[in-house]
Structure 1
Amino acid sequence: MIIFAKKLYVSLTCQKTSHNFTKIAFKPLHTNLFNIVLISFFLTIGCGNSYSQEIKNKKKPIPAVKQTDKTAGSITDTIKLDTVKPKKTFLDGKVRYVAKDYAKIDQKNKLITLYNEAELYYKDVELKSGIIILNYEKDEVYAGRIKDSAGVLVQYPNFKQGESEVQPDSIRFNFKTKKAVIFNSRTKQGELNIKAAVTKKENDSTYFSKNAIITTAEDIDEPEYYFLARKIKFVPGKKIVTGLTNLVIADVPTPLALPYGYFPLSKEKSVSGIIVPSYNDSNTRGFSLQNGGYYFALSDNYDLTVLGDYYTNGSYAMRFESAYATRYKYRGNVNIRYENLISSERGYPDYSKQNIYNIQWSHSRDTKSNPNSTFSASVNMGSSKYFKRSINQANVGSNLNNTLSSSISYNKNFNTIPGSRISLTATHQQNTQTEEIVMTLPSLQASIDRIYPFASKDGAKKGLIKNINLQYNVSGKNYFKTTDSLFFKPQMFKDAQIGMQHSIPISTNFKIFKYFSAGASTNYQETWVTKTIKKEFDEADGRVNDKVVDGFDAYRTYNFSTNLGTTIYGTYDFGSDKKLQAIRHVMRPSITYAYTPSFERYYDNYYVDATGIITSQYSRFDGGLFSAPGKDNSNIVGIALSNTFEAKVRDSDSTKTEPKKIMLLNNLNFSTSYNFNADGKSTFAWQPVLVSGGTQFFDNKLNMNFGATLDPYAIDNGGNKMNKYNIDNGGSLFRMTSANLTLNYSFSNKGGDKEKNSQSQRNGGRNDDLFGTNTDLNDTRNSQFANDPEREDDVITEFFNSKIPWDMTLAYSLTYQNTNRESKISGNSLMVSVNMDITPKWKGGVSTGYDFVQKGVTFTQFRFERDLLSWRMAFNWTPLGVNSNWNFFIGIKSGMLSDIKWNKRSTSNR
């Protein structure tokens, strides 16, 4: 016996698109049609006469006359009350009926006939048919088709009650017994279309059908596929039980058959059920059963799916997936994946065994539930090699990414005066190449809003004094730095660092000479730590050892800074009669001075050798949770200039009188700094000039960003920087040490934005498809390409070849390096992704690229898809590299019949 389950959600329970199972529902005709039509007889005036017995209305019985007979006893005679009880009406609602040709009443045969486009409405019942006949003596109603002028049967009956609708060839219903016979009924239950040759209604809860067709095809009379069930027992809202059922494709019976089927039905809650596994084989792991398991419908607010894979060489995988939601409160999902991977066979040189896992958790809370606090989670953590090794993930974007990250945060605002807030966050950063993991579990951020102690009572803050404000901030961390092999093991917690940092910033701002904005600030900071270091010279080994000292320690620092800036506007007019009418240039120069004194008192000396002559300084706070205080004075002036360029051009639309604004450069920034305390050896006075900029072209479809580093100092023959300006060494004013340029261009003739590759982005990959589309091998029913909602894929027009829907994404990256006069292009690559509707039913796509430095093709993926109406066929192929694989899928689109599929794939030997 095969049991299929269908998951339905009420409230806001999240539907799991990856595991939907078969549900077949059929609701036949069930209404008081006899009573509905019979009322038309009484509403027709002048078509008949009615008679009744006339009885005097007597409130009291008439007493008999008493007679006295001496020879006989007294006799009392009474006449009993004779009354006729009126019949109870059987219709308690308003009735409307319409017939195009006639509405005839036959009193002799007790029949009412409605002919041609007959319609009958009663409460929530709608009955439409070519002919409707009511036999009010037998309490039966009949509805059927009629013939048109060509002798073709037309005007099929259509019965609708609430959301249930039945479209048979004919129907006969008995009001008293509540039994019905329905011929060639057509009904839709969810995604399923059902057509049965004969259906009998035994009572309100049981129906029997014969030779029923079950399909998700839109055309129930000519479906491209269907399931033929010889016998069906149907209990509305509970279950469908079938006898022998087999799959028919294009009217050709297939050998795929089930001797017995059970389909649970429910409209109010999810239904648990078995998830049928699929068969596959691998060159390195043998034959397998994949993605089999069980779906648990725990409640209307949460569920659980348990899936597993098993390979004949001993490899196996387990996955636990749960979605949960509560309306106006929160929603989220949890995925836990574990795989025990064995390659080859024990004893062979290529034998290997590895355990990998991945945990994903996404949670969001509705802001309406509590506007003063928020809680959110986005977790993606596990084995560094999971996306490279997994047998159920073909996630190229995540595979090529080197970082996994997670964040769980809670924020709370307090309605105090002044306002205050607190934030608790747990973070996780994982490098999948080095397998290094950095965590904060948790980190604390708290602050009190700015206080203006010298502001006026009316709240006005004008001038240097009134704008003085102070604030209090505190942050704390419980910090872990470990590796994959030590993750959540005792050594990880032993190496944890705990610290807290308090700061009180004081600042003010004011105007100078009306056009200049000035500001000044100072900051007092106190840092607490629980671990410090102590350096000791080991004479025996001749080296310095670091000893970790546990215990509370603290240091205090302060600094001062001031800034001055303004905004300058400039416009150059070319004339209103020119195409280019004006160029506007906005400059925002600023200068900043920052001073931090020396905190040498937090530094100690240790002996380097036994003579005790040479010493070196270190801070016991080196390598700690927070950076050690500076040993030298910091006396720096920073200079920055930001620019924007905008043009006014005459609009191509002659009806518009105002010129059109075009952004030439969104930003063009220059920044550098001068250190007054530079020694000219390890530090230099002038820092390199950093140049960055960006703009958009072609209606913001082309994004361009660029940057460069300009060093004013020269280098010697060994490539070392000298304390000598490059222009004094026979060169130019600046020496460009690096530069980069990136271009991104997305365009399409479909209109609208492309669908984002959200799953790939969640796993750490790109949100576009330049690295291919993410393929979750657990569920390949969903299309790999974004559908255009404005175009009907099912409509083939003669104009299709003149406009083939497509979209394209281009990305170009160029990097120049000249640190030591090497003057070379270190990076030069072009990536492209194209998706195209080759025909209305065929879609194709390719993602590829070329590295001009390495002279090779970058990641390449080909994608093809065929729309088979109710079915979908797809083929993905990655031909190059360690991630090379292919995947073929054909299956029913409907989530209710997602187990009807065939999937064949190869997996890379990772």
Structure 2
Amino acid sequence: MSKNKPYFTKIALKPLYTNLFNIVLLSFLLSFSSGNLYSQDIVKKKKALSSSKQTNNPIIKKTLALDSIALAKKESDTTKIDSVQPKKAFLDGKVKYKAEKYVRIEQKKKLITLYDKAELYYQDIELKAGKIVMDYEKNEVYAGRIRDSTGAFTQYPNFKQGANVIEPDSIRFNFKTKKALIYNSRSEQGEFRIKAAITKKENDSVYFLKGAIFTTSKDVDNPEYYFQTNKVKFIPGKKVVTGLTNMVIANVPTPIALPFAFFPMGKETSVSGLILPSYNDSNQRGFSLQNLGYYFALSDHYDLTVLGDYFTNGSYAMRFELSYAKRYNFRGNVNVRFENLITSERGFPDYSKQSIYNIQWSHSKDSQSSPNSSFSASVNLGSSKYFQRSINVINIGGNLNNTLSSSISYSKNFTSVPEVRMSLTATHSQNTQTEEINMTLPTLQLSVDRVYPFVGKDGIRKGFFKNINLQYNLNGRNSIVTTDSLFFKPQMFRDAKVGFQHSIPLSTNFKLFKYFSASTALNYEEIWTTKTIDRSFDTDQNIVTDKIINGFDAFRTYSFASSLGTTIYGTFNFGKDKKIKSIRHVMRPSVSYGYTPSFERFYDTYATDGSGSMNKQYTRFENGVYGAPGLNNSNNLGFDLSNTFEAKVTDRDSTKLEPKKIMLLNNLNLSTSYDLNADGVNTLAFSPVRVTGGTLLFDNKMNVNFGATLDPYAIDNSGRRINVYNIDNGGSLFRMTSSNLTLNYSLSSKGKDDPKKEKNVQGERNGGRDDDLFGTNTDLGDNRRSLFNEDDETDGEDAISEFFNSKLPWDMTFAYSLTYGNENRENKIIGNSIMISANADITPKWKAGVSTGYDFVQNGVTFTQFRFERDLLSWRMDFNWSPFGNNANWGFFIGIKSGVLSDIKWDKRSVITR
């Protein structure tokens, strides 16, 4: 308050002097002369509420009965009611309404007025507005907005009928005809947001709009872009047909105009339609149209996309992408790609022509549909050079990977006693460098559950005899080894090898001296085959030849194995006042013994020269699917030792009383074997010691794995192992012949693991990794996956404020690999490389990423990719660039995010010619 006294102006109202008596008398006479007098009993009136109390009442709720819409309310007097019958009620259901400020019923005008937060419900219609007026004589309702204390409009109407919602400035609706006039309406249909100056509702399924705009922008009142048209026929949930339509970007009309337009509005089902291509040019293949195609919405469970490319030099490509799904049953997709590539022009020295293809199939079955059976498929096969030479797929992981693999499996459990399990599996493994293909079409596995013949009725298995069990296993395989050029040709199937393996293991386990666990097993095997060989010396050709003998044959083997192991715990205490309180060491040593006798009876001899004086042994079962019987007996002792190290340390959180457990080494394993039949010349007794280990560091964010091979024997000048220990040859106890170290480190600003970060599933299927360490997988047909996460998107000033008040969002993936070789005293680093991938938010709407690395052996930068993306609200823009290498390329894309308008884009990419 101010210290100075304010000045006040006093205003006095001087009353007017009138002839009050004459005025009152005249009013009384006029009123009395125009009235009618009745003699009747007067009902005692209830005390009426003052208008102020009515206004300040809480929310008033009313319900209109359909058969009493005329509001059969008793009058204050007993005047006889007119004998004319009231009109029949027009409504077919109850009308419920309420308002916060007041509800006014005017019977003479047949009006009900609801004011301030008014709501009206009738059948499937819900109407909310600042003011609602219902004329129950004309069967109409009017709704509009009201002004607040500042004079601004508020409480806009919200009209909902079924699943359709409209938010206009005002609305007029007829209950009987179901027609409506809507002014400045706003509604959502699927991904579209629609705003119209005037909307006429013809019936429940047809609307006519005037002065309308369509957009996928979140803010329909201030969109980044929209389609403007004056005449529209709108069928909710199905389609929109318009007259002359013009595209407007940033409130600037563009030259893009159509005489008419059709927009699909399906929510659950997709609509078939044309996929517009992108234009490119190449010095090697000329001008091109890429990704021209058609989308087929076959049904609710299936859809098909057909895409094609064409180059002016004659190159072309076709792609078929089928997706299918049935809830609680199965889901999957099939991709078939074919490319006929022509480089340069016919007659030029660099002219070449090749055809490549790739087939991918992924299928998974819901376990709930059939608990006792399962079916899955993961197929990736085709030309070995597809990912290196494709004009449509840029996948560095697939380019660097040397193997394509596939698996299709079906399994079923038979609930019998004992239980029987059966599975059929088809596998495929393809080396992209040698172009060799190994397939099994199929593999049959059948097993009968273990049977314990010596267990009593109590079911207790304890001791040597009661734990004796036997099992039956059947394994059948049709194995095919072929190449790219013979794939699925008749010769491929003629070279197939078929075999069956029957095995009956008899085993038991028991405790020995309380602290040792012992097991022993006797295994019987019988191998069936359909092809054998007859080896002999061909005197005409002067070479040794193998003749294929088609027909059933079999051999039988048996072996014995046993093992003995225990667990040793050791704890080293350093004191309760120390930071490291104790270290726990767990050792699991084990000794195993295996014996397999010689099966020399399955061996024959053949002459190695024309004289027949030199003979060698062979078995007719060589090159069989399940191998051949052993000629020499095997008599080995095995030694294994596994270790884990765990520590208890003081927790950084002082409120916690218990120490924190941390893992020092997840595993440290040592293994070797000793051959009891070694003669010291052809075979050496000890095999090299293999050491492997791994641990997690930095709060389990870094995965460390290492391994080494230690050989106790020395080598001669030719690099051959000799029966002399390395320590006796002037060296150390062990000679390290190889070692390796790998580090993997992934972290982000959001914590240890970012659950929202999308995995590169398609890149992994192509043969790469599921992260972006080798760059993002770029399929030129799908506009590339976005760096943004839809759940993290925010708009306007709130997004900027939130961003700058928090840490910079980022994530990073780091990998390091080191390999050392010393097999023949080369003593050098064979491999030494580092790979890094990082992504960060430069601003709330800008994201950037990079994938790169360095090879310290080759002294060169590995694959490098730069990624940039701008979130333009309803649009998206990205640019990616690989500056050098065989896969150097760049690509720019800008387009609408919405799937309905995904063809509105500009996509420009460099064409890779390999």
TM-score (norm 2): 0.89
Superposed displacement of residue 819, structure 1? 0.8
Superposed displacement of residue 86, structure 1? 6.3
Query: 2:286: which partner in 1?
Result: 286
Inter-partner Cα distance in structure 2 for 1:433 and 1:455? 55
Superposed displacement of residue 804, structure 1? 0.8
Q: How does 1:473-872 map to 2 (within 5 A)?
A: 473-751=473-751, 752-753=753-754, 754-780=757-783, 782-784=785-787, 789=792, 795-797=799-801, 800=804, 803-872=807-876
Equivalent pair of 2:530/2:553 in contact (CA under 8 Å):
yes
CA-to-aligned-CA distance 1:549-594 (integer Å, 9 cap, x gap): 2222111111111111111111111111111111111111111111
| Unaligned segments of structure 1, at least 5 residues | 1-32, 56-83
Inter-partner Cα distance in structure 2 for 1:49 and 1:821? 123
Query: 1:889: which partner in 2?
Result: 893
Give the partner amino acid of 1:90.
L
Superposed displacement of residue 799, structure 1? 5.8
Equivalent pair of 1:756/1:767 in contact (CA under 8 Å):
yes
Give the partner amino acid of 1:883.
N
Inter-partner Cα distance in structure 1 for 2:86 and 2:789? 71
CA-to-aligned-CA distance 1:187-231 (integer Å, 9 cap, x gap): 011111100111122334332111211111111111111111221
Equivalent pair of 2:190/2:237 in contact (CA under 8 Å):
no
Give the partner amino acid of 1:672.
T
Q: Quick one: structure 1 residues 189 and 533, their matched pair in 2 at CA, closer, same or farther if it must change by over 3 Å? A: same
CA-to-aligned-CA distance 1:589-623 (integer Å, 9 cap, x gap): 11111111111122221112233322222222222
Inter-partner Cα distance in structure 2 for 1:36 and 1:889? 61
Give the partner amino acid of 1:463.
G
Superposed displacement of residue 510, structure 1? 1.1
Query: 1:95: which partner in 2?
Result: 96
Superposed displacement of residue 160, structure 1? 2.0
Superposed displacement of residue 281, structure 1? 2.5
Equivalent pair of 2:63/2:95 in contact (CA under 8 Å):
no
CA-to-aligned-CA distance 1:418-442 (integer Å, 9 cap, x gap): 1111111111111111111111111
TM-score (norm 1): 0.89
Superposed displacement of residue 236, structure 1? 3.2
Inter-partner Cα distance in structure 2 for 1:349 and 1:432? 27
Q: Quick one: structure 1 residues 164 and 518, their matched pair in 2 at CA, closer, same or farther if it must change by over 3 Å? A: same
Q: Quick one: structure 1 residues 99 and 579, their matched pair in 2 at CA, closer, same or farther if it must change by over 3 Å? A: closer
CA-to-aligned-CA distance 1:139-193 (integer Å, 9 cap, x gap): 3332223334444333322212333211111222334444322111100111111
Deviates most, 416-425 or 151-160: 151-160
CA-to-aligned-CA distance 1:510-535 (integer Å, 9 cap, x gap): 11111111111111111111112222
Inter-partner Cα distance in structure 1 for 2:76 and 2:181? 31
Q: Does 1:42 align with 2:43?
A: no
Equivalent pair of 1:37/1:134 in contact (CA under 8 Å):
no
Deviates most, 447-456 or 283-292: 283-292
Superposed displacement of residue 811, structure 1? 0.5
Equivalent pair of 1:38/1:134 in contact (CA under 8 Å):
no
Q: How does 1:51-450 map to 2 (within 5 A)?
A: 52-54=81-83, 87-88=88-89, 90-100=91-101, 102-107=102-107, 109-267=109-267, 269-450=269-450
Deviates most, 291-300 or 705-714: 291-300
CA-to-aligned-CA distance 1:283-328 (integer Å, 9 cap, x gap): 3222222222222222222222222222222222222222222232
Superposed displacement of residue 105, structure 1? 4.0
Identical-residue share of aligned pairs (%)? 68
Deviates most, 125-134 or 703-712: 125-134
Q: Quick one: structure 1 residues 267 and 697, their matched pair in 2 at CA, closer, same or farther if it must change by over 3 Å? A: closer
Q: How many residues are treated as equivalent by the alignment?
A: 849
Inter-partner Cα distance in structure 2 for 1:415 and 1:38? 65
Inter-partner Cα distance in structure 2 for 1:577 and 1:704? 31
CA-to-aligned-CA distance 1:365-418 (integer Å, 9 cap, x gap): 221222111111111111111222222211221221111111111111111111
Inter-partner Cα distance in structure 1 for 2:878 and 2:833? 30
Q: Quick one: structure 1 residues 492 and 785, their matched pair in 2 at CA, closer, same or farther if it must change by over 3 Å? A: farther
Inter-partner Cα distance in structure 1 for 2:66 and 2:143? 12
Give the partner amino acid of 1:393.
V
Inter-partner Cα distance in structure 2 for 1:35 and 1:314? 76
Inter-partner Cα distance in structure 2 for 1:740 and 1:534? 45
CA-to-aligned-CA distance 1:835-860 (integer Å, 9 cap, x gap): 11111111000111101011001111
- Root-mean-square deviation over aligned CA pairs: 2.4
Superposed displacement of residue 720, structure 1? 2.0
Inter-partner Cα distance in structure 1 for 2:103 and 2:507? 91
Equivalent pair of 1:37/1:112 in contact (CA under 8 Å):
no
| Unaligned segments of structure 2, at least 5 residues | 1-61
Equivalent pair of 1:750/1:788 in contact (CA under 8 Å):
no
Inter-partner Cα distance in structure 1 for 2:259 and 2:784? 27
Equivalent pair of 1:575/1:581 in contact (CA under 8 Å):
yes
Q: Quick one: structure 1 residues 523 and 160, their matched pair in 2 at CA, closer, same or farther if it must change by over 3 Å? A: same
Equivalent pair of 2:190/2:266 in contact (CA under 8 Å):
no
Inter-partner Cα distance in structure 2 for 1:353 and 1:49? 105
Equivalent pair of 2:319/2:336 in contact (CA under 8 Å):
yes
Query: 2:47: which partner in 1?
Result: none
Inter-partner Cα distance in structure 2 for 1:381 and 1:372? 30
Equivalent pair of 2:264/2:900 in contact (CA under 8 Å):
no
